[in-house]
Amino acid sequence: MSETVLLVGGGGREHAIARAVADADRGELYACASNRNPGIDALAAGYESIDETDADAIVEYAASVGASCAVIGPESALNAGVADALDDAGVYAFGPRESEARIETDKAFQREFMDRESIPGCPAFETFDSAAAAAEYIESHDGDLAIKPRGLTGGKGVRVIGDQLTAAEGAEYVLESGYDSFVLEERLVGEEFTLQAFVAEGQYRVSPAVQDHKRAYEGDEGPNTGGMGSYSDGTPELPFMSEADYEAAVGIIDAVVEAMPEYKGILYGQFMLTAEGPKVVEFNARFGDPEAMNTLPVLETDFLEFLAAARDGKTLPELSFSGRATVCKYAVPEGYPTDPAAGARVAIDADSAGRAELFYASVDAREDGIYTTTSRSFAVVGVEDTIAEAEAAVEEAFERTGTDGLRVRHDIGTAALIERRIEHMAELRAR
């Protein structure tokens, strides 16, 4: 049976989703987003300019194209109730309803849910409804804290005392941030990794672990970003993890799905692997960006088959992955994220990327070419037998086309960086 799929969103993550849909022989893709992603545009039978939070317009477009299901990419759409609106209109949305999406969109709800349901891996935390109260707590607290505004911040709102700033600077950040409500948590020390689970009908299927790199500059320096790149190995776990570490993270996902049986879509766990095992940094309610670009290119299971089973309430197919490693590196405009400069021409395309894969994100497609905006521009992904080979494929693409007006974290996926991760975990476990 053929499926007509509506994709909501226009970033690199959504380009990866679009390619997964297009790779199936029995699907027709339509898309809507506030920006026009040229990669999605080339794959879609139709592409409408609609804000991702405009639920009524999205439902109207879904009806006009006869969508049989929808995949929602960005968290802003989930927060706006787009999944609710599509479901209520009879279009199955692979994405949680607004009430379940609060596991990402409301950090206080997330921690209180974990505490109430005895979800493993929850750090010690306190919630605050005023910046002044949060700042007072920071100043009086003995120990490092993670400072999290309660709502969505595009991955750029969290600050960590003892890593990015001092306690005094943390209190100043809270007072000057413009946010009203905060969650303050114990600082988790270890190595971060993410695990994305495909969830429906109380069932879930997990994908290989991925390590994202939030910091803007090489050596994990600089401000946080939406993600500068990521890598995965040919095994479910990463080089600094054991099989037991991976299974412990799966156990946390299992507990969440059991406690939230109505959840559907992607449940993304961001974990800190500590000396005591995985703890939860946060949950997201959608594919990661860039992690979708590590996971979907190695997914061998028909994505549309999975969507149809989820929609029809059937047993979910097991997910099969190729067993290959991936490295993803984002190209961003010079000055990103604090003072990005738009307007650089993007020289790379699918052909010039060579053996690597190209996923467009936030770019401006003009008649004479594709140009950067002020956000992450595009990602280049290597898919090879080893991490080293995948990293080399990405670097070959950048060497071939150049990066004028762009910046890349070239250390992502390198042997030196991964060895530091392995040594760090060994040191923590030896204490």
Looking at the structure, tell me whether residues 258 and 156 fall in a common domain.
Answer: no
Looking at the structure, tell me whether residues 329 and 312 fall in a common domain.
Answer: no
The confidence score (pLDDT) of residue 102 equals 97
Looking at the structure, tell me whether residues 175 and 291 fall in a common domain.
Answer: no
Check: CB of residue 78 under 8 Å from CB of residue 94. no
Kindly state the helix (H) or strand (E) to which residue 394 belongs, with its residue range. helix 387-401
CA gap 7, 29 in Å, rounded: 7
Looking at the structure, tell me whether residues 310 and 202 fall in a common domain.
Answer: yes
What confidence tens digit (pLDDT) does each residue in 326-362 have? 999 999 999 999 999 999 999 999 999 999 999 999 9
Q: What is the DSSP string of 102-155?
A: HHHH-HHHHHHHHHHTT-TTPPPEEEESSHHHHHHHHHH-SS-EEEEESS--TT
For residue 93, what are the domain limits?
3-98
Looking at the structure, tell me whether residues 247 and 292 fall in a common domain.
Answer: yes
pLDDT over 70 (residue 286): yes
What confidence tens digit (pLDDT) does each residue in 68-101 have? 999 999 999 999 999 999 999 999 999 999 999 9
Looking at the structure, tell me whether residues 143 and 174 fall in a common domain.
Answer: yes
Predicted TM-score of the model (pTM): 0.96
pLDDT over 90 (residue 151): no
Is 120 exposed, middle or buried (CB count within 10 Å of its CB: 0-12, 13-18, 19+)?
middle
Which of the four pLDDT bands, split at 50, 70 and 90, describes residue 155? confident
Looking at the structure, tell me whether residues 196 and 283 fall in a common domain.
Answer: yes
**Residue 116 CA from chain centroid, whole number:** 26
Is position 344 within any domain?
A: yes
pLDDT over 70 (residue 1): no
What confidence tens digit (pLDDT) does each residue in 63-76 have? 999 999 999 999 99
Angle at 388 between CA 241 and CA 411, to 5 degrees: 85
Q: For residue 16, give the CATH number of its domain.
A: 3.40.50.20
Mean pLDDT of 298-316: 97
What confidence tens digit (pLDDT) does each residue in 375-395 have? 999 999 999 999 999 999 999
Is position 115 within any domain?
A: no
Which of the four pLDDT bands, split at 50, 70 and 90, describes residue 157? confident
Among 261, 292, 319, identify where a domain stops: 319
Q: For residue 330, give the CATH number of its domain.
A: 3.90.600.10
Tokens of 281: 């940094």
pLDDT over 80 (residue 156): no
pLDDT over 80 (residue 139): yes
Is 94 exposed, middle or buried (CB count within 10 Å of its CB: 0-12, 13-18, 19+)?
buried
Q: For residue 128, give the CATH number of its domain.
A: 3.30.1490.20
Is position 424 within any domain?
A: no
Average pLDDT, the chain: 96
Looking at the structure, tell me whether residues 209 and 314 fall in a common domain.
Answer: yes
Is position 112 within any domain?
A: no
The confidence score (pLDDT) of residue 27 equals 81
Which of the four pLDDT bands, split at 50, 70 and 90, describes residue 207? very high
The count of structural domains within the chain is 4
Looking at the structure, tell me whether residues 220 and 238 fall in a common domain.
Answer: yes
CA gap 221, 241 in Å, rounded: 23
Among 294, 319, 344, identify where a domain stops: 319
If you count them, how many residues does the chain have?
A: 431
What confidence tens digit (pLDDT) does each residue in 8-55 have? 999 999 999 999 999 887 889 999 999 999 999 999 999 999 999 999
Among 319, 335, 354, identify where a domain stops: 319
Check: CB of residue 328 under 8 Å from CB of residue 381. yes
Is position 431 within any domain?
A: no
Is position 145 within any domain?
A: yes
- Listed in sequence order, the residues at least 6 apart from 331 whose beta carbon sits closer than 8 Å to its beta carbon are 346, 348, 376, 377, 378, 379, 380, 398, 403, 406, 407, 408
Looking at the structure, tell me whether residues 196 and 168 fall in a common domain.
Answer: no
Looking at the structure, tell me whether residues 198 and 309 fall in a common domain.
Answer: yes
- Widest Cα–Cα separation across the chain: 62
- Listed in sequence order, the residues at least 6 apart from 333 whose beta carbon sits closer than 8 Å to its beta carbon are 340, 341, 342, 344, 372, 373, 374, 375, 377, 405, 406, 407
Looking at the structure, tell me whether residues 300 and 334 fall in a common domain.
Answer: no
Percentage above 90 pLDDT, the chain: 95
Q: For 229, which DSSP code? A: E
Residue 164 forms beta bridges with which residues?
none
Q: For residue 287, give the CATH number of its domain.
A: 3.30.470.20
- Judged by DSSP in three states, 36 sits in coil
Residue of 185, 158, 154 whose CA lies nearest to 174: 158
Is position 138 within any domain?
A: yes
Tokens of 203: 């069932």
Beta strands, E only, 144-298: 145-149, 159-160, 182-186, 191-200, 203-206, 211-212, 215-217, 221-224, 229-232, 265-274, 277-284
Mean pLDDT of 255-284: 98
Is position 426 within any domain?
A: no
